[in-house]
Amino acid sequence: MHLIDTTDFDRRVVGDVLRRQAAVIGDAPFLLADDVVLTFEAVNRRTDELAAGLASLGIGPGNPVALFLENSLDFVLVALAANKLGAAWIPTNTAYKGEWLRDTLVDGGAPVLVVDSSMLGRVADVAADIPAKHVVVRGGDTTRLSGRSVSHFEELAVDGASDPGISVSAGDLSAVMWTSGTTGRSKGVMQTHSAWLACADIFVQARDTRPGDVFYCCVPLFNSGGWVLNVFCGLVAGLPVAIDPGFSVRTFWDRCRHYRATQIVTLGAMHMYLWQAPAGPADADNPVRVAGFVPLPAELTEPMKERFGLEFIWQGFGQSEVMPMAITSRDGTWSPGSCGVARPDLDVRILDEQGAEVVVGEVGEICVRPHRPGVMFSGYYGRPDDTLAAFADLWYHSGDLGRLNGQGELFFVDRAADYMRHKGRNVSSFEIERVFLAHPAVAEAAAHGVPADELASEDEIKVCVVLRSGETVTEAELARFVNDRAPYYFVPRYIELLGELPHTPTERVQKFRLRQRGVTAATWDRHAAGFTVTRDS
C-alpha cells in the first residue's frame, strides 16, 4: 500500500497520480481481471500507448471520448489514457438502445466512440444521428457499421509510445457521468480530476483501508460508484482492483475468493439479493473484511456481518454530484439508520423550501457547500440552466430529503420527488417500503403517490410489490401486515403485484415509470375491496 497525499489541489490529477505510483510501486499489482494482473507500471505504460492512438484520431485537451463498453480492463485503460491527453471520457449505460442511446451520444458530442462489438448493432441503429466521426470497436466484426471511419480497438495502442507530456490541471474535466435516470432523462455530471481523487481519499480513510486489501468491482463502470469506490480508491491507495463484467448472486462470493478480495461495495438491491439467497455453511468462508452495502436496513447490519464473516459494514450517502456527502467510519459509534457525518471538506445542512436551516431533527432538503475547491462536481454537461438551478443560494440542492441529529449524523428520508403528502401528512415512500420488505414473501416494494381525487396537492399511496420466487400472498394480507406493524396511514390505498419493477442498470427503481403507470385494472383498491384500516388505539 502506498497512499498518495491528495491535500495539494494542484497534484490531484489522475495521470500524475498514476505516474507517481508507477515510479514508487511500479511492480505492485493494480488492475486484475480473471487471471490477468496488470501492475502500476504496466498500466502507466499501456495508457501512454493508448493515449497516442487516441491522439492520432484527433483527441486532445478538452475533447470528449464516448465509451459504450462493458466492464473490462480495456474500459479502465482507455479512460485513463484519455485523461492523460487532457480529454474527458463519457461512458454510456450499456442497457441503452434506440432513443436513449441516441440522445446520450448526441448530448455527449464526442467525435470518437469506443464500443464493444456486442453492442455495435445498437450503435448502427442510431448512427445517422450521432456525432462520432470515428468508431473504435473492441473485439469482433466491424462490418455492421457503415458511413463512419471504423477501426479495431486492438490496433489503437501505439507500441512503445512515450508519455504524451500534456499539461493537465486538477480542475480540468475528467469524465461526464450520466445520472441514473430515476426521475427522467439523465443529466451529465461533470467530474474533475480533483473531485475524483478527493472523494476517493475520503473513501480510503473511512473504509479502514489497510496494506494487503483488494477492492472488488462488479458494479458498472458507467456508474460513478464503480470508479470512485473502486478504481480511484486503488489508484490513490496503491492497491489492487479486481474488475468483473457484472454482478451475479450465484458467483459473487466465489469471485471474491478468486481475487482474495477484502473490500467490496454493492449498491441498490444487490446486497439484498445476496441476503435473500439460501444460507449455507460456507457463507462466512470468504476473504472479505469490509463491505459497503448501500443502503442497508439497520436491523440487518449485525446479521449480515455474522453470516458473511465481515468485520465492518459502512454506510454513506451521496450522489454522482457529491461522493459521498456523509459516511460512517469504523472508529465511530453510529445510530441505527445513520449515513454517518459530513466529510470534513463539506458543509452539509438541512434547508427548508425557503432556504432556511431547519431545527435539528426536522426533515428538509439535503444541501451542500464545499470547504475547499475541487471536492464535488462542477456542473451539468451542456446544461447551464440546470447547473444554476441546482446551486440556488450558492448551496448545491440535492433533491433528497434528510434530517440531522444532535451528533451531526445524517439520515436519508426520501427523494423529494417521492415524498408524499397524504391527508395532511408528509409520508416517506422509503419508510413504507421498509415495512413491506419486512414481509417474508416480499422481494421488492416501491411506494409512490397517485393524485387524490379530492385535492390535487394530496396523494393516495400506491405500493408496487414483487414477490419472492415461489411465494404467494394476497394484497389484503399485505395491507393487514402493514396495519399491524406501522402507523395506520402507512396502509396504502392501492397495491399492485408485479413480476418486476422498472430498474436502472444500477438497480435503482424508476419510480417515475410507476407514477406514469398509475392505477391499472390489476391494481387492488382497499376502498373497493372493503378493507378496514385499524387505527392506533
| 217: exposed, middle or buried (Cβ count in 10 Å: 0-12, 13-18, 19+) | buried
Where do the domains of the chain lie?
41-194, 330-371+382-416, 419-529
Task: Give me the pLDDT at residue 537, please.
Answer: 38
Task: Give me the pLDDT at residue 91, please.
Answer: 97
β-bridge mates for residue 347, sequence order = 369
The span from the CA of 389 to the CA of 168, in Å, is: 29
Q: Is the distance from CB of 502 to CB of 513 less than 8 angstroms? A: yes
Q: How far is CA 278 from CA 225, 249, 272, 302, 441, in A?
A: 28, 11, 12, 18, 14
Q: Tens-of-pLDDT digits for all 537 residues of the chain?
A: 999 998 889 999 999 999 999 999 999 999 999 999 999 999 999 999 999 999 999 999 999 999 999 999 999 999 999 999 999 999 998 888 888 789 899 999 999 999 999 999 999 999 999 999 999 999 988 777 877 899 999 999 999 999 999 999 999 999 999 986 545 567 999 999 999 999 999 999 999 999 999 999 999 999 999 999 999 999 999 999 999 999 999 999 999 999 999 999 998 778 988 998 999 999 999 999 999 999 898 899 999 999 999 999 999 999 999 999 999 999 889 999 999 999 999 999 999 989 999 999 999 999 999 999 999 999 999 999 999 999 989 999 998 999 999 999 999 987 777 778 777 677 888 889 989 999 999 999 999 999 887 666 678 999 999 999 999 999 999 999 999 888 888 899 999 999 999 987 556 788 888 988 999 999 999 999 999 998 763
In degrees, rounded to 5, the angle at the alpha carbon of residue 275 between the alpha carbons of residues 270 and 276 is: 95
In degrees, rounded to 5, the angle at the alpha carbon of residue 320 between the alpha carbons of residues 463 and 446 is: 5
Task: Give me the pLDDT at residue 505, please.
Answer: 59
Q: Alpha carbon 453 to chain centroid distance?
A: 37
Closest CA to 247 of 35, 506, 36, 32: 506
Q: Which CATH number is 419-529 given?
A: 3.30.300.30
List, in order, residues 6 or more apart from 151 with CB less than 8 Å away: 134, 135, 136, 137, 142
| 303: exposed, middle or buried (Cβ count in 10 Å: 0-12, 13-18, 19+) | exposed
Task: Give me the pLDDT at residue 4, please.
Answer: 93
Q: Which CATH number is 330-371+382-416 given?
A: 2.30.38.10
**C-alpha cell of residue 281:** 455453511
Q: How far is CA 315 from CA 75, 238, 294, in A?
A: 28, 23, 6
429-437 vs 475-485: helix axis angle to the nearest 10? 110
Regarding pTM above 0.75, the answer is yes
Task: Give me the pLDDT at residue 194, please.
Answer: 98
| Three-class secondary structure of residue 216 per DSSP | strand
Closest CA to 91 of 246, 252, 288, 226: 226
What topology does CATH give the domain 41-194? Rossmann fold (3.40.50)
Q: Where would I find the beta strands (DSSP E) of 354-488?
A: 364-370, 396-404, 410-415, 420-422, 425-427, 442-451, 459-467
**Cis? peptide before 295, omega within 30° of 0:** yes
Location of C-alpha cell 413504507: 432
Three-class HEC string of 56-88: HCCCCCCCEEEEECCCCHHHHHHHHHHHHCCCE
